[in-house]
Structure 1
Amino acid sequence: MLRLLGEVAVDADGRPVDLGPAKQQCVLAALAVEAGRLVPADRLAVRVWGEDVPRRARATLYSYISRLRQALADVDGVVIERRSGGYALLADSVDLHRFHALRAAAREQADDERAVRLLTEALELWRGDALTGLDSEWAEAERARLARERLAAQGDLVDAQLRSGQGERLVAELAARVGEHPLDERVAGQYMRALNQAGRTADALEHYRRLRARLVDELGTDPGAALQELHRKLLGADPALTVAPGGRLVPRQLPAAPVPFVGRTDELDRLGGTVVIAGAGGVGKTWLALHWAHRHIDRFPDGQLFVDLRGFSPENSPMDPAVAVRGFLGALGVDPGQVPADPHARSALFRSLVADRRMVLVLDNAVDTAQVAPLLPGSEQCTVIVTSRYRLTGLVTGHGAQHVPLDVLAETEARDLLRDRLGAARVVAEPAAVDLLIALCGGFPLALTIVAAHAQTRPRLPLAELADELHDLGLSALDDDDPSASLPSVLSWSYRALTPEEANAFALLGIAPGPDIGVHAAAALVGLPLNTTRTLLRGLEQASLTSRDARGRYVMHDLVRRYAADLAQELPDAALRRVADFYLHTAYACDRLLAPHREPVPLDPPAPGVHLQNPDHRAAAMVWFETEHQCLLAVQQLTFERGWQHSTWRIAWVLNTYLQVRVLPRDWLGVWQLARKATEDMADPGMDVVALQYIGLANANLGHTREGIQHLERALDLAERHGDQVNRGHLHRALARAWEQQGDDHRALEHSAQALSVYQRSGNPVWEAIGLNSVGWDLAKLGHYDEARQRCRAALVLHRHLDTPAERANTLDSLGYIEHHAGNHEEAITYYREALALYRDLGNRLGVVDPLVGLGNAHAALGRPEQAQAVWEEALELYVQLGRDEDALRVRQRLLSLSGTNSLHPGMKSDSATPAHP
């Protein structure tokens, strides 16, 4: 065996072979690394001498090869061949390649014990550092790369051993490895799992604490999401919990099956389990997946899930898998307020919910394995069908998926498709014309469908004339292997066959912001009445240029949309202004329903031709935001790119309430960062103050409290310099909550008091009531219960008079906390129950959790363990799903003990289901 994982040598009968000088050995190593493949002479020279190759390098290289052949003459199975342009080493066995083969085999093993044996054998091939004794630049770089591979293989081995339950005996080994790689999060996670398996969970949690502190001090960052998820599990609160009792939904998300559907017999027989249908755009991947899923619908009594991951959309913005998981959780009945903020916890909750269900998941238009992996259910009872233009080999090798390649339709299948669409008589009557149509379409189902649709709308037109028209328009290009270069020819023909109104609508839909569009937004885009727009959309749908998803939203195939966008490039931007105004004004109306006491901002009148949607109650407003959320983000980006600064800022403003209620801090931060960037040259301190305020609050919500405080203090300084009294009050209150999160209740009270002073001078009773409650809460946190009670009761009187249910619920929660800590537990229970009823009426599950804990505390103090246990268990579920780890741990401990009367109320109070900030 040729050795590279140690000294470069030949192990014939256990005796090393003298290979001559180091540079000569480097030649052998460079060939052995690529054993069996041609290595060009120029590449060999660079590997031996570096970039500064001597003039006589080729001659010297030839001499080295000759000497190596002599040294290896008596070694069986090792030959250096001269090939055109270079050399190739043929060897029966090279330890490096053996190492790679064993590691690859281990990855494919479902049996962890077998994987352990393979990886152990692979690592035993190492005899010290790779390429020992070689000092060229290439050898040094290769040595470092191979060292990383060795470390990764060691990590793979440990993972397999941990899955086999061998953690206890790995503790000492991993402790040493942690010492060698103190900031390696994979090693840290393995060490924590080993400690946990050894019954030393407390040590595992302590290691996480020390590692996090070191990462923050040295790198200024928190541990990654995977390590944070492991930490949560070690706290004893598995994030993969089921939804609350009361039944579970059976989602029915599959779009309609394609009718008719022809061919694909072999591919249909291969579907089932987890499969990846891979092929070019327009080849019929989604049709195949949906046809199979509908044909076997009886196998999946627990429902179907479908998502278009937009892996190859014209905007080149694939869907974040965390967004897709959120959609799945909603379909499974999880309240949006209970969805964990952390993507890994979110995926874990999804896997838990579908673990015992027989379902089919269609993950359409995926861009890569990383996008799909968080959406896999982890249960063999579920069937997963992934479609993509890429092969997604990571799913095949890492998740056991079956690869189902999809090519164009065979000639007989293409003929069947046209016969089913046009009728057998018409196809049989003109066989030559049908042959030409099939040839021009190149077997692509999308192209054939467009052709058939056009023929259906012109039933008296001979197919020969249709074929001639298509040929004249360049459709013969569809014979090309690259469909993206040829389908536009078909699309141009379809475009020219549209009425002028349809053609205009088609082009404009190509530039519409967002992944899909509803009728109202489309009407604004084209500037026509709703009924006229519906007619146009139906016409485009019949022409196979648009389709409707399971929600009735209009979508375009990505190639069709790209072509349509090209047509719209020279159109005026009035259409984009109309659609932006539609989203802005409708979102504003919805926001007024969510936060009626919020101070309004002025909007210019919408452009002519805009038909607004006006939901008449809060629930309808939330549904609209849920539906249009992604489109609103796209609209804000559009306004920024067009230079419409005021619209960019105002879209952030109208999204603000929804993003807080739905606990979407990353989107919240992103929209305000873009808003501030758009208006930074406008010299408008009021807009800057609001943007800084929400950037600060969003950072605090994401756990970046210090950064959040810095933004809030900058905003406060700016507001004070420009005499902005209202925002001064809001900023002091925001700083109070941020300092409370930092554990400084005294500074929190100082800011709450200043906020109340500003609010009282403003003459706005809603803000005064909010300020009173804020001061009362901070006084209670410092133990001043009598004074706190006085402030919060005054706030409650105002809120009852003003009819502000969300803020009334906040104040009732504060009073419950005060009475419990003052020893008046029955009064506390009364307040907490009223707060809970209000939060639930508002549909605010996020607001429910803190009063639940307080209610349990009061029950426990009164010696009612059963009542305390019931509400704490509900609170624990919510805390885990919301990612509030420390609160979840405290409730877990209280459930285990159910003794004592110490308060477990969380350290930071939720501000409101309807945020009080403007």
Structure 2
Amino acid sequence: MVEVRLLGAVDVVVDGRVVDVGSPRQRHVLAALVAEPGRPVLPEVVVERVWGERPGGRVPPSLHTYISQLRRVLAPVGVTITRAGGGYLCPVDPSVVDTHRFADLVAQARVADDDVEAVGLRERALDLWRGEPLSGLDTPWANQWRTRLWGERTAAELDHIDGLLRVGRHGEVLPVLAAQVEDRPLDERLAGQYLTALYRSGRQADALARYQVVRERLAEDLGADPGPELQALYHRILTADSTLTEPAAGPSPAPHRPAPVPRQLPSAPPHFVGRSGELAGLNTAFAEVAEGGGSVVISALAGAGGIGKTWLALHWAHGVVDRFPDGQLFVDLRGFSPDSLPLDPAVAVRGFLDALDVDPARIPTDPQAQTALYRSLVADKRMLIVLDNAATTDQVIPLLPGSPTCTVVVTSRRRLTSLVSRHGAHHLHLEPLVGHEARALLTERAGADRVAAEPDAVADLLAYCRGFPLALSLIGGRAHTEPHLPLARIVAELRESGLEALDDDEPTGSLPTVLSWSCRALTPEQRQAFSLIGVAPGPDLGLPAAVSLIGHPPAHTRRLLRALVEASLLDRDPHDRYSMHDLVRAYAATTADDLAGDVREEALRRVVGFYTHTAHAAERLLEPHRHPIHLDPPAPGTLAHPLPDMSAALAWFDAEHLHLLAAQQTATTHAWHDTVWHLAWTLGTFHTRQGHRHDRLAMWQAALDACAHLSDPATHTLVHRCLGRSYLDLGRHTEAIEHLHRALALAEHDRAAQAHAHLTLAHAWERRGDDRQALEHSIHALRLVRGLDRPVWEADALNQVGWFAARLGDYDTARAHCQAALALHRRHPDPGGEATALDSLAYIAHHTDDHHQAIAYYRQALILARGLRNTNRTANTLDHLGHPHAALGHHDHAREVWREALELYRGQGRHDDAVRVQRQLDALDDLAAAARGSIA
């Protein structure tokens, strides 16, 4: 039997034997995966849980190493780790993990048939604890989970003591309570347990004295008297109340169950699949019964219309129906009904009274009195109350019982935040189904044979629905009712008609209709924001971009976004970014067509202006020596995002890269021609440093198309030069040289533009293998820039002359030019140029047999490149660094840097460079094998 232990040090135990699963960090990676058994965990989530960092799109390579090692160690004991849903999945049963087993045992104890059984279950639960949970892991996630687990343990211990007192084991708990009350002198529940144990042990005087101690501490520390329950217990002890005498050990008598027992649950959904994580969340919420006299257990399921809230609630409810022997109540509150207002809670209460078989003559006329009667009838009963489709918290509150023995499940398209904050509800937000769950639902509805027969069409359908249950059910239902209709035909209709293909004559089965009901509850401002987000460029939206898109100040914009999140029409992630499910967004986009006047176009101008102006400021931080471009003032209402330094600029580019690409597409669609090439320019340095070569080419191709509508020759010159460089970096030399010569011709009267064209042509001829031609272009560029008073440009040209001189074997000339370049770059701080000059000097040192000096130069260049997060330059320098290491016989060092360069080249899609480095590594391996053979 396999056990994963988290209640202490993280361990894996097989048949009582601890398995060595590696270093503490590796164990913590495992803990991050099994915290939610059966659910994929995204790599960046693992990093945040284990490293305590938000990776910002970058996942440390060591994570992949840890995953590989865990797979190797755990596979022999039957534990697997696979890729699923974009993350890592460790599909162990929750019962294998001690944290989940603890919660399950505590939950079983709360619904046990008698106190003796409950005591035994809680003892088993508490015995699972071996120390501090997740020992050694100090991250915000771990600390938050650890705090919750300690709270669950404390509650279980208090419940356990109550149970022990009920079965007459007060002598056993007395010393335990004596120690605990010293540690928690203000805990009134604990004090009451201690007083009871003292009294039942024949120590009435000690119990009364202890009460006075508690009363004085409460008055001194909190300025308060003991609560009514503790005061009542004191008076019972004082008067030697006979009901406080020792209870008889053994099972408690079965509770009286009035007949008839209400069984109002609708039938279980017939095609339910997946949702193992959400079901586990419901079970956990059910296990967290409030302390005696506290609130009912409430689990509030929130999510967009069609996401499967009611199905999940009913499926779970039918699975645990035996735990509610006193009955189940159900009501559809019609919070988003197409044909009626939300149900008055007073009407729902009256329906519950009827279900509880109350004589109509006994039902009072006052609604508040009816609610009080309802709560009295369900008090101390183990009942399940399902409140489906709630509109607001106010609609729910009158239906909440006051007994801690009841469980309430609420579903709503809104998040019902105040239900969580004011009534201790456990919030559970439903996401779309993950990949295998979505396929299972489609298979269940359409049939396994149909799904197996058309794998390509099935893949397209799953991609379109993106895990949205209602969409999958609609498609599957149509396939079921039309068995001869090819699934490929449904795919074609979806591509042609979009969301309309998921319409249906039955309103509750039409996705557009269901989503429209959610929008009806929005204010006009909220509906407009919803529509605009549907057409905003990019996959999601940060708050600064949303401010410009929606056209309101930040605080007001945040309130609008929060309302959409509450309505489950918008999702907010921990990084304060907002996104919609693809189908919700498709519906939002259709509503944007109905906006008045030019609202839509003005909003898009503002948000595209936001991306353009912020990107321009970020580019100036990355490369302050680059010749600037002039932007027109942004549209009114546009608010650019301030960026304080280079690190902030890089982080912003990382987060908004896809949105900048989409912003250029929006500008192209609307024929905002200047914006099209401005966006290509603003991303130039970021694309070069991060190796986004294909994106850079696509943006400059769009810029060239936009130039056909512009007359400024300087713009044409710049676009042709940048497009030529983009072609060059992808190895398309003929097209590169064609555009570069075009740029040179257009720059006839622009000395700076000519110089930059010559510098880029030098690289083009280098790629063609003609270093002599490259040197001539570099010399020409140097002559041009020397009269421009631009020292950094001059340094670039000096280094390039030195580089090609070195390539041609003239190392003295090369060294003089590169040293002059290095001095200029350091005098006019330009770390990127400095790294390039150091790389050139290292090359010269290596080829003049000064390998140690070469290594020193390369390492300095590497530090600068990494500091700039220039992964393109980092890969090149690592590649170069391996050669002097190999020349000195430092094969392990050479292998190390070449392997890192290989990984970077592959990540950047630089296939030819990756193949070359792999050959270098193979040659090292051949040398090592030959050496071993000669020794043998």
TM-score where L is the length of structure 1: 0.51
Aligned pairs for 1:349-388 (under 5 A) are 356=72, 359=81, 361-363=83-85
For residue 51 of structure 1, what is the aligned residue in structure 2? none
Q: What is the aligned partner in structure 2 of residue 644 from structure 1?
A: 672
Amino acid at match of 1:584: T
Deviation at 1:854, TM superposition (A): 4.2
Shift of 1:852: 3.7
Distance 1:657 1:665, change over 3 A: same
Cα contact 1:453–1:542 (8 A) shared by 2: no
- 3-state SS of 1:452 partner: strand
Counterpart of 2:762, as a letter, is A
- Cross-structure match for 2:839: 813
Q: 2:867 aligns with which of 829, 835, 841?
A: 841
Check the 8 A contact 2:335/2:389 in 1, yes or no: no
Residue 527 of structure 1: aligned partner? 551
- The residue that corresponds to 2:924 in the other structure is 895
The alignment covers a number of residue pairs equal to: 529
Shift of 1:853: 4.6
Match of 1:554 in 2: 578
1:618 to 646, 663, 666: 646
CA distance in 2, matches of 1:705, 1:851: 23
Q: Which residue of 1 aligns with 2:764?
A: 738
In the alignment, which of 50, 60, 63 is matched to residue 333 of structure 1? 60
Amino acid at match of 1:333: P
Q: Does 1:584 align with 2:612?
A: yes
Tell me how far apart the structure 1 counterparts of residues 783 and 93 of structure 2 sit (CA, whole Å): 59
Question: Could you tell me which of 701, 709, 729 is aligned with 1:701?
Answer: 729
CA RMSD in angstroms, aligned pairs only: 4.8
Q: Which residue of 2 aligns with 1:830?
A: 856
Give 1:603's aligned residue: 631
Q: Report the CA distance between 1:451 and its aligned residue.
A: 8.2
For structure 1, the 5+ residue unaligned runs are: 1-244, 255-291, 307-326, 337-347, 364-374, 384-388, 392-406, 442-448, 463-474, 900-918
Between the aligned partners of 1:335 and 1:679, the Cα distance in structure 2 is 46
1:809 and 1:834 in contact (8 A); partners too: yes
* Cα distance change on mapping 1:335 and 1:516 into 2, 3 Å: farther
The answer to whether the 8 Å contact 1:453/1:543 transfers is no
Residues in 2 aligned to 1:504 and 1:250: alpha-carbon distance in whole angstroms:
45
Q: Which letter does structure 2 place at the counterpart of 1:555?
A: S
- SS of structure 2 residue aligned to 1:762: coil
Equivalent of residue 760 in structure 1, options 762, 778, 786: 786
> How far off its partner does 1:700 sit?
1.7
Q: Distance in 2 between matches of 1:786 and 1:246?
A: 53
Q: 2: CA distance between counterparts of 1:753 and 1:435? A: 75
The equivalent of 2:389 in structure 1 is 452
Selected match of 1:296 from 31, 37, 49: 37
Secondary structure at the aligned position of 1:686 is classed as helix
CA contact (8 A) 1:252 1:305 kept: no
Specify the SS of the correspondent of 2:583. Answer: helix
Contact 1:820 1:828 in 2 (8 A): yes
The residue aligned with 2:365 is none
Question: CA 1:658 to 1:854, structure 2 compared with 1: closer, same or farther past 3 Å?
Answer: closer
1:648 is displaced (CA, Å) by 1.1
Partner of residue 203, structure 2: none
- CA deviation after TM superposition for structure 1 residue 376, in Å: 9.9
Taking structure 1 as reference, are residues 677 and 560 closer, same or farther at Cα in structure 2, changes over 3 Å only?
same
Residue deviations 1:392-428, cap 9 Å, x none? Answer: xxxxxxxxxxxxxxx99698766679999xxx9xx98
Following superposition, the deviation at residue 730 of structure 1 comes to 1.1
TM superposition shift of 1:669 = 0.7
**Where does 1:219-298 land on structure 2 (aligned, <5 Å)?**
295-296=36-37
Q: Residue 512 and residue 781 in structure 1: after superposition, are their counterparts in 2 closer, same or farther (change >3 A)?
A: same
Aligned-partner residue type, residue 796 of structure 2: I
**Contact 1:816–1:829 at 8 Å: present in 2 too?**
yes
CA distance in 1 between counterparts of 2:841 and 2:635 reads 48
State the shift of 1:699 in Å: 1.6
* Cα distance, 1:576–1:681 mapped onto 2, change above 3 Å: same
Q: Matched residue of 1:640: which SS?
A: helix
Q: If the length of structure 2 is used for normalisation, what is the TM-score? A: 0.50
Do 2:546 and 2:557's aligned partners in 1 also have CA atoms closer than 8 Å? yes
Residue by residue, what CA displacement relative to the aligned partner does 1:572-606 show, whole Å, maximum 9, x if unpaired? 22111111111111111111111111111111222
User: Alpha-carbon deviations, 1:611-648, whole Å to 9, x = none?
Assistant: 32222222221121111111111111111111111111
What is the letter of the counterpart of residue 758 of structure 2?
A: H
Task: For 2:312 and 2:25, locate their aligned partners in 1 and report how far apart those are by CA, in whole Å.
Answer: 45
Partner of 1:658: 686
Give, in whole Å, the separation in 2 of the partners of 1:772 and 1:763.
14
Which residue number in structure 1 is paired with residue 806 of structure 2? Answer: 780
Aligned identity (percent) is 39
Q: Is the 8 A contact 2:26 2:66 kept in 1?
A: no
Separation in structure 2 between the aligned mates of residue 433 and residue 898 of structure 1, nearest angstrom: 76
Deviation at 1:786, TM superposition (A): 0.7
Distance 1:816 1:615 in 2: 35
Alignment-mate amino acid for residue 564 of structure 2? L
2:656 corresponds in structure 1 to 628
Shift of 1:651: 0.9
What is the deviation of 1:359?
4.2
In the TM superposition, what is the alpha-carbon distance from 1:843 to its structure 2 partner?
Answer: 2.8
- Cα–Cα, structure 1 residues 526 and 865, in superposed 2: closer, same or farther, change >3 Å? closer
Partners of 2:889 and 2:564 in 1: CA distance? 68
Change in CA separation of 1:513 and 1:434 when aligned onto 2, cut-off 3 Å: closer
Provide the C-alpha distance between the structure 1 equivalents of 2:330 and 2:92, rounded to a whole number of angstroms.
49
Q: Which residue of 2 aligns with 1:790?
A: 816
C-alpha spacing 1:779/1:647, structure 2 compared with 1 (3 Å): same
Q: Show the counterpart of 1:675.
A: 703
Q: Judge conservation of contact 1:524–1:578 (CA < 8 Å) in 2.
A: yes
Contact kept? 2:336, 2:391, Cα under 8 Å: no
Amino acid at match of 1:296: P
- Summarize the Cα distance change of 1:351–1:248 in structure 2 as closer, same or farther, 3 Å threshold: closer
For the structure 1 residues 334 and 700, does the alpha-carbon distance in structure 2 shift closer, same or farther, using more than 3 Å as the test? farther
Aligned to 1:803, what secondary structure does the other structure show?
coil
Q: Give how far 1:381 is off.
A: 10
Mapped partners of 1:657, 1:782: distance in 2: 29
Partner of 2:603: 575
Q: What SS does the corresponding residue of 1:513 show, helix, strand or coil?
A: coil
Question: Partner of 1:490: helix, strand, or coil?
Answer: helix
Instruction: Kindly state the Cα deviation for residue 609 of structure 1 after the two structures are TM-superposed.
Output: 2.2
Larger Rg: 2
Residues 832 and 686 from structure 1, CA distance in 2 versus in 1: closer, same or farther, beyond 3 angstroms? same
Asked whether the equivalents of residues 251 and 331 of structure 1 are also in contact (C-alpha less than 8 Å), the reply is: no
**Structure 1 residue 662: Cα displacement:** 1.3
Match of 1:285 in 2: none
What does 1:836-875 correspond to in 2, within 5 Å?
A: 836-862=862-888, 868=894, 870-872=896-898, 874-875=900-901
What residue is the counterpart of 1:127 in the other structure? Answer: none
CA distance in 2, matches of 1:431, 1:763: 79
Contact 1:350–1:377 (CA under 8 A) maintained in structure 2 = no
Return the alpha-carbon distance in structure 2 between the equivalents of residues 519 and 701 of structure 1.
35
CA–CA distance in 2 between the matches of 1:554 and 1:891? 46
Q: Is contact 1:852-1:871 (8 Å) kept?
A: yes
Q: Which structure's relative contact order is higher, taking Cα pairs within 8 Å and 6+ residues apart?
A: 1
**Equivalent residues of 2:39, 2:90 under 8 A apart:** no
CA deviations on 1:11-30 (whole Å, 9 max, x unpaired) are xxxxxxxxxxxxxxxxxxxx
In the other structure, the counterpart of 2:825 is 799
Partner of 1:687: 715
Q: Report the AA paired with residue 784 of structure 2.
A: V
In structure 2, distance between residues paired with 1:643 and 1:553: 28
- Distance (whole Å) between structure 1 residues aligned to residue 756 and residue 25 of structure 2: 42
Which amino acid in structure 1 is aligned with residue 782 of structure 2?
L
